[in-house]
Amino acid sequence: MIDLEIVEREINDIEVSKDTTYRTCERLAWLYIVRDHLRPTKADPRTQAMDGSEFLEACSGVSYPALMTILDEHMQTLAVVQPRVYDALMRKIRALP
Cα separation of 89 and 97, whole Å? 15
The count of other CB atoms within 10 Å of the CB of residue 19 is 13
> Is the model more confident about 40 or about 84?
84
The closest alpha carbon to 15, from 23, 25, 6, belongs to 25
User: Residue 42: its pLDDT value, please?
Assistant: 65
Cα separation of 76 and 94, whole Å? 16
> In the chain, at which residue ranges do the beta strands (DSSP E only) sit?
none
pLDDT digits (tens, 9 = 90+) for 53-95: 999 999 999 999 999 999 999 999 999 999 999 999 999 999 9
Q: What is the pTM of this model?
A: 0.53
